Chains A and B, each alone.
Chain A
């Protein structure tokens, strides 16, 4: 009661400030919090007439159905493996690039290459999908064009599921390397220049400078990026998977992640209950993982914790 009274007093005192924060508050409440209520559908048997509140409860049947078909495990495995693969490759590439870029001294070379590497961040995944088409499609793709000029048979990439993890990983790294290297370059150049110069004067060679100055500089950034990604361990980048893979059914075993599966179920079979169960499972696991990992990190070194 006292709390409410305090809030009321504060509200009267700072009405303009509250009114300025109100739009974002209402927007978040309506667009993010209210839809969470819909998660109860994960425990209900959806019927269209009943909607969110009128449908009948059916316990854990939706979850059982999701995992009994084997589909639940498959998409969980794919999502986790893709996230780990993409995390390692994209961060490693960005770190290498940022170290090289900070060391390169030819001004125009540096400027132009940086601009080009940053460019993929600015385009939509739709355009990336068009690039995939232009390079890999069977009839007119650039890859088969090149193969033909070497007298080799055309290659139908859509019939080789095993190659797709590499392709997706390559495009992911390609799109994000510029963005991520901006972050790492900021971390490297954020250090006091004098330390670097002193090391150079003391005779530290480039490898010692990387080992003892640059890598320690980017360590906090690496940890932050890792934590952010671990908090999304069960979330797939829907736009990327959808645009790169498209609706090639024979690739689903290798490329289906929770997000693409949920989308497809929603648009085709309309098994709302099971689809919500998948979304609930995804959100809940991510939430628990990030809370636990963050708590552990906080214990080891509070500076690295996200919150």
Chain B
């Protein structure tokens, strides 16, 4: 985030009046308070996952583990079949969806960014219209299940997330930044359109690809809604939907318990829920510090474009 928020350094040279001192005190307090409010739920989650079930039953969740215990994680990793499968599904969906989505978004943005492409406004409108009007859940559901036969297919998760107008607009900003002369001279040198796209445009679009790739990957990783609609086979549950099931349905919890060889009554359900949440969110929290700046860049471009 730092890149965009260098602030107004010049102003710092001016001496602060008492009223502006109060402003700064309030600013620090409000921002710090908000940061804490954003952090606390994560602390409750992590601490809950490391707290002995008995403590939670009697005293409830806390922001730090009072009675430390790793039994929830032991259950998950004793027989990690459920978690491992869900991880596999999520990774598969995220990788395939992100790759295909990137290719489609880059190709479309490139064509629509080419000023010599005569029908670019018409195509842009064709895509943009879908953000103004759509068939809604029922029509999509009936069409997917009855006519495309996508029940229990991971394509029901991958296909709808591949192309979005928002991503296309951001990518087009990157495309427009590439000088037209480059394309012209490649043409003169005898390169075909495909060649130009793959060996000149794509390498130059790397920053855009990184940004959009991360947006896509995050959306796929966090997707549970499409899984809830279309997937009933528990072996095909992605991580977030499996997590939701663990929270909502006792049977999902007892399946994990059975795999770990525990009697259902002894399942530390509260701490187990939190441990599952940690396991499902872990990858995002780990990569977050490294990818944050790409999201800031993408959101900034998206907002400028409107």
Q: A100-B30, A142-B61, A238-B225 are in contact. Are A182 and B110 (CB under 8 A)?
A: no
Residue in A116, A145, A272 whose beta carbon sits within 8 Å of that of B138 in the complex: A272
- Distance, CA A111 to CA B160, complexed state (A): 35
A135-B44 in contact (CB<8A): yes
* Chain B residues bordering chain A, tally (CB within 8 A): 111
- Tell me the smallest distance from the CB of B197 to a CB of chain A, in Å: 7
Residue in A32, A52, A105, A116 whose beta carbon sits within 8 Å of that of B35 in the complex: A116
Tell me, yes or no, whether A158 is within 8 Å of chain B by CB: no
Q: Which residues of A contact B270 (CB under 8 A)?
A: 140
Q: Which residues of B contact A282 (CB under 8 A)?
A: 136
Residue in A41, A110, A187, A207 whose beta carbon sits within 8 Å of that of B23 in the complex: A207
Produce 1/0 per residue, A283-306, CB < 8 A to B: 110110011000000000000001
Residue of A nearest to B56 (CB): A140
- Tell me the smallest distance from the CB of A223 to a CB of chain B, in Å: 10
Among A28, A109, A111, A231: residue with most chain B CB under 10 A: A28
- Name the interface residues of B116-139: CB closer than 8 Å to any CB of A: 117-119, 123, 126-128, 130, 132-139
B4-A189 in contact (CB<8A): yes
A124-B222 in contact (CB<8A): yes
A31-B159 in contact (CB<8A): yes
- Among B78-86, B255-263, B272-280, the one that faces the other chain is B272-280
- Name the interface residues of A249-295: CB closer than 8 Å to any CB of B: 259, 262-263, 266, 272, 275-276, 279-280, 282-284, 286-287, 290-291
Tell me, yes or no, whether A120 is within 8 Å of chain B by CB: yes
Tell me, yes or no, whether A77 is within 8 Å of chain B by CB: no
A124-B224 in contact (CB<8A): yes
- Among A67-75, A79-87, A196-204, the one that faces the other chain is A196-204
Tell me, yes or no, whether B20 is within 8 Å of chain A by CB: yes
Given contacts A24-B127, A185-B5, 5 further A-B contacts (CB under 8 A): A17-B193, A125-B222, A144-B60, A185-B4, A276-B138
A interface, CB within 8 angstroms of B? 7, 10, 14, 16-18, 20-21, 23-25, 27-28, 30-39, 41, 51-52, 93, 96-97, 99-106, 109-127, 129-131, 133-135, 139-142, 144-145, 148, 174, 177-179, 182-183, 185-187, 189-190, 193, 196-197, 200-201, 205-207, 209, 221, 224, 231, 238-239, 243, 246, 259, 262-263, 266, 272, 275-276, 279-280, 282-284, 286-287, 290-291, 306-307
**Which 8 pairs from chain A and chain B are nearest by CB?**
A279-B136, A145-B60, A38-B139, A16-B193, A197-B10, A124-B222, A35-B135, A100-B27
